[in-house]
Structure 1
């Protein structure tokens, strides 16, 4: 059902197509620039090939094109952008000086130096003198010496951290190079909404007058994210933002290039380094105080699963603190959604999700990546949410919270700041989802993975894509413009982009029949739509606990309270997996039931008070073969499977009947041994692969490493497991089952299928998909428990061989060893 608030294609603002050197305004509803005759000089699909052809056939023409960018002819000059000036000799030196003169940084250096001197005095490093004044002069001299050392270190860190955008000529050349590389991979170019761009430019003009920064907060699926945003800002005349980047990308050649193009390098983890933390805060303060645009990824790292990740609060905390403290008056927040027909790095993502170690970033991997070698990956769609004031957000939250002080420093109530920070993070994610565009490849991937059977005919595939477009718009989502192209043509183009490695076709049949070749990888594109249907999927999964029993409509009715309870159970289970609506569950459930009933998927019965009493599938939905109900179930089933696998894998934490003796420490605490958390999760993946190939797990993507990690996070939050983490990143985290959740063994020393943990597994299993590939029963339970013992056994063997004890005990021993080290006269940072 169409959303009345959603503009039709005829009412929508036109798109802008950025392709190579050409900026094209597209009429409403047009998906790409008009098709031109296939000419190497004009073909919109081959801008980079055109350049290389010129180089081979006419070196002079090629060099002329390059010189236009280097010299800055016409729009390439980038002389009239909106924002603060950053391109001049000495910019980096001036920025370094402002950071080093930051009052906050100077106070921290003074504090650390004084603290160090106090420690040295307590350790007797200063000889006692009769004259107390002389002793004071000695310690003062030592304090100044330490301050000097800390300033040297801070200056070196600052130089390595700050972006160094000093040369327009360099930026022009970088734009030319990056445009050629990106449009070689994404041959249909970069698309933005003209309405959103005009609005953003107007906001940028006002911000520039007030000396305020625009903080771009994009989602993060690919390295192309920050490249595409920089290209858009350059081409549309907006000041380039300083981009927060992890120093793992700061490798030879590429690192300096990115730093001069806008990257600021930060460590992946700050630990307890107070000086470095203050330095980062001081640099961000300096950028915002001077009105320089800023960009960071609210999710932290790239999403390997296709959907938004939970927010990371590190950089967001710095930004919020700048405004809360009063050091920065205000800044403008602009959430950004970047969507792709096909994401370049998906192949490597799948390898990582299946447990292979992430390869180290290097120049070789960069040059050999598919981002340089691939062609015809479709297009990139970038959408900008309406920008909003960070100060206004704080004031609004202050009025809600009530007790929030007007101005705060680091000593104010951290609980209140955490609440503000959490609200900020999830608001940005909600804004990103609100403007995200569903691409044709996501539509195709979603349809292929939510249909029963091995494959689907082309006519049915086209019909379901059209149906899904209606569902997306009905949920307030956006679908990429198709223009006047028939859906069949759009589907063909999407299939071409996905390629035969993801979607295969069976030839020699009455009609082409398509099937998912790589369901794991295709799930990445399906996950790009799941945020629109999470509520419907959870309700459908709850109803499935009744529907799976069969026995006719009367036997499949579900009471409202039972539906509410199980939907609540699932929503809590996936709290770390999805971004849920902020409304109370009862209100969201009522809205979801109304929508499903309007779409004729379910029928509800009300009691005398007009409240819903029972819910069941509608007669029309049954007549359709439950295809709409199945769609919602198929969306959520892989995640239910993954969480069930995570819960079952916790049975591996049951101490063996025979094996290594327990340490006194572990026995005293809960009767169980601490095990390496990463090793446990790796074995959980192995357990999942075994269960899948033996038919006890329906979805191979359930062994997804990220989903398993999210499940373990929820288990920890619920107190099912305890996790001990050391402050030393080199010391692995340890895990053990809580005593109340510990299974028991029978007379044959086998784990019994009973107890709190097993009941929890069974609660999840109630909504798992039933079918020919899987059956519940005593035989299955026995086989699963047997595999748990088999797969988990090596964990205990390793623990016994290494004589590992509690991670907490190890941490205390490490601290004692550190205290026994001789104190150094040089400042330790």
Structure 2
């Protein structure tokens, strides 16, 4: 049945055979825990199918209790799923029983699978990891239910996801629709369409015994706070590894190119020029490209044609009577269709982030010479601002990231280095600024989202606001700023972006959350802190980078 499904709606599976061999080898030595990213409901069935086809024991899969609806709950359960509540708060017995269940599975040497992001990513990029299940599994190891286990990061990616339309509604602020049989019937329309290829890549396994032995202090001697910090660190390492083995597809690359500026269209030659720059950088990073890139021209043209067929972009052919120098195909993008492409851009955006930060600093500074000190300062600012949006490699310090990018730009003859008065400066060469701008523009919508939320803090100036009321005001302000032309990209109006900016402002102690313990639901309100001067510094600094 599943073989029919893959062949009917997909053009095939691209499987990491070497990674599967590593899993098979590990399975002979210890229990293993599959930790995939979560992009689609298809994920529940996909990796089990891959393991089954390769004669590897199937895992028990942790699934949310929202997936128990008929008939899918029955199918998922028969496929190895077990169901858990979204939150264990206030139910100690449930938590202890569930922890014991996981421990027994590990004791029996049975493989597990859980989605560390919690739910499906609606944005196309990695969601910050959740640590609940991970901590329970490590706790079982601590209590000697197993001598060792391996956590295996897995990337599952799609040329196109079947839930595309519902994701777009939720990003615009619509309530998450509950999973039920009716929704599945609606989704059955997918059987009349093709969704490209599916990609499965397997990251470097984390052997837990070895990893814990490398820590400065044995886990048994750690305080509760130190253990929780360790769980967060392990979770972050896993999602970082998933990002490292993500696949660049023709769809994600073309989407990134098309969204690399806010104009309504671009010529075919302009698209190819930007695509070449993006491809060169990704090649330098040694990322994994989809196998269809073996014929790069065909892969790119196929992706463009599908975007045209789906109505994401329009293809305007050259007129025969036009002058030869302007006879060129043009691709036009409607504003409301940008959000369709944003999901696929986000699939690979993490690969570009260091260069995006450096490019933003360079193109937004109008001086002939830009100090290395200025670049570093802007880089640190952007990283702090967008810390909750992206997974950063904590094994590399900021200077290492910046130097790697600048070395690349120098080799590509976009910049040169100049020394004056003992300081290093950058000078833009030739078309360097033009080539860097598309990289800077890849993250511009996130800066615009930040600008909207920071502007909306004016609503908190007099009195605190309930979270839901403030969220409505943020959405309304963003819509108004977009219509006035103060915000250029509709993808800046995504609700998850706003929520991450709020987390940043709270962490920076520029706003504070106030909980009313008298109310059962503990409604949260937000208020400005006394750090008004720091808020103004943030506002001015961000404005310079817009």
Alignment TM-score, normalising by the size of structure 1: 0.62
- Please show how residues 746-765 of structure 1 align to structure 2 within 5 Å: 755-765=533-543
Q: Is the 8 A contact 1:200 1:386 kept in 2?
A: no
Q: 1:644 to 1:715 in 2, by over 3 A?
A: same
Match of 1:179 in 2: 3
User: What are the Cα deviations for residues 644-691 of structure 1, in whole angstroms up to 9, with x where unaligned?
Assistant: 111111111122xxxxxxxxxxxxxxxx3x321122112201110110
SS of 2:170's equivalent in the other structure is helix
Match of 1:215, SS state, is strand
Q: Does 1:395 align with 2:395?
A: no
1:328 aligns with 2:146: yes
Whether 1:441 and 2:232 are equivalent positions in the alignment is: no
Matches within 5 A, 1:696-711: 696-711=486-501
Post-superposition offset of 1:451: 4.5
Matches within 5 A, 1:241-256: 241-256=59-74
Does residue 585 of structure 1 match 2:363? no
Is residue 643 of structure 1 aligned with residue 457 of structure 2?
no
Equivalent residues, number: 534
Distance 1:616 1:347, change over 3 A: farther
**CA deviation after TM superposition for structure 1 residue 521, in Å:** 1.7
Give yes or no for the alignment of 1:546 onto 2:357. Answer: no
CA shift in 2, pair 1:184/1:684, >3 Å: same
Does the C-alpha gap of structure 1 residues 450 and 189 become closer, same or farther in structure 2, counting only changes over 3 Å? Answer: same
Per-residue CA deviations over 1:326-378 (Å, capped at 9, x if unaligned) read 33221111110111111111211111111111111110101211674342210
| CA RMSD between the two structures | 2.1
Q: How does 1:300-379 map to 2 (within 5 A)?
A: 300-369=118-187, 372-379=190-197
1:456-475 per-residue CA deviation (whole Å, 9 max, x = no partner) reads 33344344434422221211
What are the residue-to-residue correspondences of 1:115-154 with 2, within 5 Å?
A: none
Q: Is the 8 A contact 1:722 1:735 kept in 2?
A: yes
Which structure 1 residue ranges, 5 or more long, are not aligned?
1-175, 548-554, 656-671, 742-754, 769-829
Q: CA-to-partner distance for each residue in 1:682-713, whole Å, 9 max, x for gaps?
A: 22011101100111111111111001100000
In the alignment, which residue of structure 2 is the partner of 1:559?
371
Task: Please give the residue correspondences for 1:45-64 in structure 2 after superposition, counting only pairs within 5 Å.
Answer: none
Taking the aligned partners of 1:219 and 1:326, their CA distance within structure 2 comes to 28
- Residues 133-532 of structure 1: pairs in structure 2 closer than 5 A: 176=1, 178-186=2-10, 188-204=11-27, 206-207=28-29, 212-369=30-187, 372-397=190-215, 401=216, 403-405=217-219, 407=220, 412-451=222-261, 453-482=263-292, 485=295, 487-498=296-307, 499-509=309-319, 510-517=327-334, 518-532=337-351
Name the counterpart of 1:734: 525
* Greater shift in the superposed pair: 428-437 or 475-484: 475-484
Equivalent pair of 1:516/1:522 in contact (CA under 8 Å): no
For the 8 Å contact 2:248–2:289, the answer to whether it is kept is yes
| Whole-angstrom CA distance in 2 between matches of 1:225 and 1:462 | 33
Q: Tell me which residue corresponds to 2:353.
A: 534
Partner of 1:245: helix, strand, or coil?
Answer: strand
Match of 2:418 in 1: 605
CA contact (8 A) 2:162 2:190 kept: no
CA drift of 1:534 comes to: 0.7
SS at match of 1:378: coil
SS in 1 for 2:431: helix
In the alignment, structure 1 residue 681 sits paired with structure 2 residue 471: yes
Q: 1:592 to 1:432 in 2, by over 3 A?
A: same
The structure-2 alpha-carbon separation of the partners of 1:452 and 1:252, relative to structure 1 and needing over 3 Å to count, comes to closer
C-alpha separation between the residues in 2 aligned to 1:195 and 1:463?
34
1:527/1:483 CA distance change after superposition, 3 Å: closer
Question: Residue 565 and residue 680 in structure 1: after superposition, are their counterparts in 2 closer, same or farther (change >3 A)?
Answer: same
Query: What is the CA-CA distance between 1:729 and the residue it aligns to?
Result: 6.8
Summarize deviations over 1:568-599 as a string: whole Å, max 9, x none. 11111111111112122223222222222222
CA distance in 2, matches of 1:528, 1:365: 25
Aligned with 2:214: secondary structure? helix
Q: Does the CA contact (< 8 Å) of 1:472 and 1:532 recur in 2? A: yes
- The separation in 1 between residues aligned to 2:218 and 2:19, in whole angstroms, is 34
Comparing 319-328 and 388-397, the one that deviates more: 319-328
Aligned residue among 595, 600, 603 for 2:408:
595
What is the distance in 2 between the residues matched to 1:333 and 1:263? 18
Unaligned runs of 5+ in 2: 320-326
Residue by residue, what CA displacement relative to the aligned partner does 1:218-262 show, whole Å, maximum 9, x if unpaired?
Answer: 111111122211110111111111111111111122212211211
SS of equivalent to 1:369: helix
Checking the alignment, whether the CA contact within 8 Å between 2:116 and 2:129 is kept in structure 1 is yes
Larger RCO of the pair (alpha carbons < 8 Å, separation 6+): 2
Cα gap change, 1:484/1:592 in structure 2, threshold over 3 Å: closer, same or farther?
closer
Task: Name the structure 2 match of 1:167.
Answer: none
* Aligned position for 1:632: 439
Look up the match of 2:504.
714
Over alpha carbons, which structure has the higher Rg? Answer: 1
Q: Supply the distance in 2 between the matched residues of 1:531 and 1:273 (Cα, whole angstroms).
A: 37
> Quick one: distance in 2 between partners of 1:374 and 1:313?
38
Superimposed CA distance per residue, residues 120-179 of structure 1 (whole angstroms, 9 cap, x where no aligned partner): xxxxxxxxxxxxxxxxxxxxxxxxxxxxxxxxxxxxxxxxxxxxxxxxxxxxxxxx2x33
Say which SS state the counterpart of residue 220 (structure 1) adopts: coil
CA deviation string 1:742-763 (max 9, x = no partner): xxxxxxxxxxxxx543332121
Name the structure 2 match of 1:30.
none
Instruction: Point out the structure with the larger strand share.
Output: 2
